[in-house]
Structure 1
């Protein structure tokens, strides 16, 4: 596998592994617990030949427990193209202090004895893959991850398959609460709002109130608040603010977000005072449902800002 310097695009040292015969590589050679006795050898000296992914974690850290199985899975998949070095900062506080660790999980990519990049927090597997692929060529013919399979199923309208995949992920990773949120989303896509709400309500408070869970709850609430298609037909001949608002709400509930956002913005322009500024408040809820990084959220936040200021 080729390893590149992202700053110059030039290839770096190639690991001393034979990717054509991966079964010969013992996982214990590339998934290693780090302490004061082997930090120099594994992380600093070892990274001169093979990249090292240094996972700084703590026993009391729930996100660390969610992240570590993902990193171990990737290490096995990459089969020696990088070394996963796991550092328990509680047991080795001196090393953690020298590294400047302030919060965990903290993952650092060390190559040729230098820090090349890092991330903090338990990122989704897909995002970690994308981050890692900037530096190390992914192995060929890797099957889609369960998360990717579930997402593809949802995009294809097969919510039942997505739900089944997420149920297995939740069973296998009971402390990975993002999977439970994903399961709630798939259950909601199947049309079972009651079960989706139950899943969300049973999350720990810090996960129940996180952006991802709020987004699923917002979609759930839009479905409950939106007029039925029969009611919408009755409003067809009307063009007052109430009818326009309900049409936009139905579009959002049906997943036609762009049309719904356009309708809400138009209502703000024509009747800002309707139902105590309901159009603006609903726009913000749609942003919450989509997520801060969604292209529609970014685009329509700009439009909202321009309209307001």
Structure 2
């Protein structure tokens, strides 16, 4: 059962003890509270998307005033997440569904998040079945397809996706048959993005109509290294100098 009602008599068993097995989110609410009625459906939807991984316990503060006082509930709705018998996160007031989802994500990922984290082809395809707009799943799947040689499949997934990684992959597919870039691509495949970026920056002056594709591949490689990476900072300066 994902959503349950609890009282002072059942709180120890249903919340404290149960939280040692899985996270329990307690919704402190009251019938007269308009924001509580607004927040409730979002809490229930988030909990139902994580059935078997989290429990939502609803506690009426009017009927359970001693418990509300014990947890110092001064305004409702008040939401507290329990794990291992203790409060690990909380918020007060009605929140939009997106924020409620993020709150639950901090406790346990939803099914799509878990599938994307798994990262294998079957999991990524299932994630896209459940949530077709999930761009991180599409980008990851496109990368897998490209790695196994399915250029058409990778391009179909990546060509309309936002983000540096997707743009870089599309550009790489466009240049895949140009031998001039083979050493750089081999370095990327070998896990040496720094060598790949050095080679690509050297080729920029002679890239002609492919200059923008080369730029996108470089940016994707640098994005993978991270903004603060020392090589990435220097390479961005060299890239700007080569382009302008």
Q: Normalised by the size of structure 2, how large is the TM-score?
A: 0.51
Alignment of 1:110-129 (within 5 A): 111-113=91-93, 128=102
The aligned length equals 188
What residue in structure 2 maps to residue 78 of structure 1?
A: 54
| Aligned 8 A contact 1:264 1:280 in 2 | no
Residue of structure 1 aligned with 2:114, choices 145, 166, 178 = 145
Residue of structure 2 aligned with 1:252, choices 188, 200, 203 = 188
The Cα of 1:261 is off from its aligned counterpart by 1.5
Distance 1:37 1:215, change over 3 A: farther
Partners in 2 of 1:29 and 1:184 — Cα distance?
Answer: 40
| Aligned 8 A contact 2:146 2:154 in 1 | yes
Partners in 1 of 2:125 and 2:182 — Cα distance?
Answer: 34
Distance 1:249 1:217, change over 3 A: same
Corresponding position: 1:188 with 2:146: yes
3-state SS of the aligned residue for 2:49?
helix
Alignment of 1:80-229 (within 5 A): 80=56, 111-113=91-93, 128=102, 133=106, 138=107, 145-150=114-119, 162-200=120-158, 208-211=160-163, 213-222=166-175, 224-225=176-177, 227=179
Partners in 2 of 1:170 and 1:263 — Cα distance?
Answer: 35
Deviations 1:21-52 (A, max 9, x none): 37xx9x9986x9xxx96315675xxxxxxxx9
Partners in 2 of 1:199 and 1:277 — Cα distance?
Answer: 24
The Cα of 1:193 is off from its aligned counterpart by 1.2
- The gaps in structure 2 that reach 5 residues or longer are 1-10, 60-88
| Aligned 8 A contact 2:115 2:126 in 1 | no
Partners in 1 of 2:208 and 2:105 — Cα distance?
Answer: 47
Distance 1:278 1:191, change over 3 A: closer
From the CA coordinates, give the structure whose radius of gyration is larger: 2
Deviations 1:61-84 (A, max 9, x none): xxxxxxx9877535863323899x
Deviations 1:87-146 (A, max 9, x none): xxxxxxxxxxxxxxxxxxxxxx9724598xx9979xxx9xx58x954xxxx46xxxx922
Q: Normalised by the size of structure 1, how large is the TM-score?
A: 0.42
| Aligned 8 A contact 2:171 2:213 in 1 | no
The Cα of 1:164 is off from its aligned counterpart by 1.6
- The gaps in structure 1 that reach 5 residues or longer are 1-14, 44-51, 56-67, 84-108, 151-161, 202-207, 228-241
What residue in structure 2 maps to residue 94 of structure 1?
A: none
What residue in structure 1 maps to residue 34 of structure 2?
A: 38
Distance 1:178 1:184, change over 3 A: same
Flag the structure with more relative contact order, 1 or 2, with Cα contacts below 8 A and sequence separation at least 6: 2
The Cα of 1:260 is off from its aligned counterpart by 0.8
Corresponding position: 1:273 with 2:231: no
What residue in structure 1 maps to residue 225 of structure 2?
A: 295
Partners in 2 of 1:82 and 1:217 — Cα distance?
Answer: 49
Q: Output the aligned Cα RMSD.
A: 5.2
